[in-house]
Structure 1
Amino acid sequence: MLVLALDTATSVVTAGLVELSGDPVTLAARAHSGPPTRPSKHGELLTPAVRALCAETGRTLSEVEAVVVGAGPGPFTGLRVGIASAAAFGHALDVGVHGVCTHDAIALTACSAGGTRIDTAVGATEPGAEIPRAGTGNLLVVTDARRREVYWAAYDPAGRRLSGPAVEAPDALAARLPQLAIGTVVGDPAFAGRLGVAIAGPSAPAPEGLVGVAAAALRAGREPAPVEPLYLRRPDAVEPTGRKRVTA
């Protein structure tokens, strides 16, 4: 089964073609990062990345049998690019679109040996690069939620989610790390200082991580549920409280 995997929940735009026969195997992947203040850039990068994947592998979109997309948590503008694009591809190709938690996919990527590591540098895709496994204790995935907050979720060493996803200030999360029994932290390295821990490993999900989270449903041929974005907080926009007076 050929699967198109997409994610725009982080600052990295991730796209990959994954073969799902036994374990998910990435045939080709693209990872591009833009300035955190320009999430709208995701829309400019995603479709060209998919075209490049097809050109590189010699496969066509008509061969795609399913789409998997990261549903967050992530900032509103960037996240909806991936979900809307996945819905468009699914509709055009008449295939199911499976939404997965982006943090689940990052955790699975981090807990896998080998594979493809996606870093924050533009086009930094390293086939066969070693991905650090979770060490002693549980695994924490941390990504940028803007507004001086982080999205986080905790996992056991096998990548099974224990708590989260949630959003809060790094200082509040740092206080609960002993309670979560965290041994390894992966994700956005910019928060290492605020959390008081080293952050290594993938900052975005690899395509095989995205497909791996949905693998059981894909193999079983289950009808996917509607993709629900994980925003985890209300948008900045609010309804006006009254009409603005324009005359004296």
Structure 2
Amino acid sequence: MLLLALDTATPAVTVALHDGERVLAEASRVDARRHGELLMPAVDRVLGEAGVKLPSVTGIVVGAGPGPYTGLRVGLVTAAAFGAATGAPVYGLCTLDGIAYAAGLAGLDGPFTVATDARRKEVYWARYADARTRLTAPAVDRPAEIAERVADGPAVGAGALLYRDVFRDVPEGMPEHQSAGALAALAAERLAAGDPEFLASAGEPVRPLYLRRPDAQVPANYKVVTPR
């Protein structure tokens, strides 16, 4: 098994190669405005460090969000292109699930919340029973609107750090952004377990979790600039 994992749903452009047991190579850089510029060099760096050529990859794992429209689609389109070029199956995983899994690897146990920065003074968030079990569907809300729902346990992620007045229990040493290594490890675990839902997902295009409309909109009415 050789899984190439990538995620551009958070400000982190992150790529990793996993052999089913461990991460062979990983590269991450936090830059919310350069996803398209940074992703391919990161892929090249990871494959080069591991001494692996792209055609040898047996599966592509991509973070499906939630995340901003522009950044998220960079990873999704790249993953789809790799899948088409190599014939490897493409698996989509919720970005919040990857962060939750990484929190578990960092030692967090019991119910908690994952929250990332959604901009516009909002967060993308979900509740977890543990690092592998999501309790709620991913959502986007203003922190004050969910304060009561997230007050009974710790929280991790950039959104939790940004709104400490709502997410008051943010343990130190927890992940802030996505880690492709954790995302790949979660995928490898589900593949090894024969998770039927996860296996079946490779037969369909990965559906992005945008949760809201993109900032850029097509004008409803065009201004007439030519003589009638």
Structure 2 matches for 1:1-248, cutoff 5 A? 1-20=1-20, 24-34=21-31, 36=32, 38=33, 41-112=34-105, 131-134=106-109, 137-178=110-151, 181-182=152-153, 184-188=154-158, 190-199=161-170, 200=172, 201-215=174-188, 218-219=191-192, 220=194, 222-223=199-200, 224=202, 225-246=204-225
Post-superposition offset of 1:74? 0.3
Identity of aligned residues (%): 45
Post-superposition offset of 1:90? 1.1
Post-superposition offset of 1:54? 1.8
4+ runs deviating over 6 angstroms: none
Q: How far apart, in 1, do the equivalents of 2:99 and 2:136 lie?
A: 15
Across the aligned residues of Structure 1 and Structure 2, the Cα RMSD in angstroms comes to: 2.1
Q: How far apart, in 2, do the equivalents of 1:204 and 1:19 lie?
A: 23
Contact 2:103 2:131 (C-alpha < 8 Å) held by counterparts: no
Aligned residue pairs, count: 218
Q: How far apart, in 1, do the equivalents of 2:217 and 2:38 lie?
A: 30
Please give the per-residue CA displacement for 1:85-128, whole angstroms capped at 9, x wherever unaligned: 1111111111111011000111111112xxxxxxxxxxxxxxxx
Instruction: Give the partner amino acid of 2:107.
Output: P
Shift in CA distance, 71/140, structure 1 to aligned 2, threshold 3 Å = same
1:145 match: secondary structure: strand
Q: How far apart, in 2, do the equivalents of 1:59 and 1:105 lie?
A: 24
State TM-score, norm by structure 2: 0.87
Instruction: Give the partner amino acid of 1:9.
Output: A
Contact 1:15 1:31 (C-alpha < 8 Å) held by counterparts: yes
Shift in CA distance, 158/42, structure 1 to aligned 2, threshold 3 Å = closer
Instruction: Give the partner amino acid of 1:53.
Output: V
2:210 match: secondary structure: coil
Q: How far apart, in 2, do the equivalents of 1:13 and 1:94 lie?
A: 24
Q: How far apart, in 1, do the equivalents of 2:52 and 2:218 lie?
A: 47
List alignment gaps of at least 5 residues for structure 2. none
Instruction: Give the partner amino acid of 1:210.
Output: L
2:19 match: secondary structure: strand
Contact 2:66 2:210 (C-alpha < 8 Å) held by counterparts: yes
Q: How far apart, in 1, do the equivalents of 2:72 and 2:191 lie?
A: 23
Instruction: Give the partner amino acid of 2:206.
Output: V
Contact 2:15 2:181 (C-alpha < 8 Å) held by counterparts: no
Contact 1:192 1:198 (C-alpha < 8 Å) held by counterparts: no
Post-superposition offset of 1:57? 1.5
Contact 1:139 1:159 (C-alpha < 8 Å) held by counterparts: no
Contact 2:4 2:61 (C-alpha < 8 Å) held by counterparts: yes
Shift in CA distance, 243/6, structure 1 to aligned 2, threshold 3 Å = closer
State TM-score, norm by structure 1: 0.80
Post-superposition offset of 1:186? 0.8
Post-superposition offset of 1:72? 0.2
Shift in CA distance, 242/47, structure 1 to aligned 2, threshold 3 Å = closer
Instruction: Give the partner amino acid of 1:98.
Output: Y
Contact 1:4 1:66 (C-alpha < 8 Å) held by counterparts: yes
Q: How far apart, in 2, do the equivalents of 1:206 and 1:236 lie?
A: 26
Q: How far apart, in 2, do the equivalents of 1:239 and 1:43 lie?
A: 22
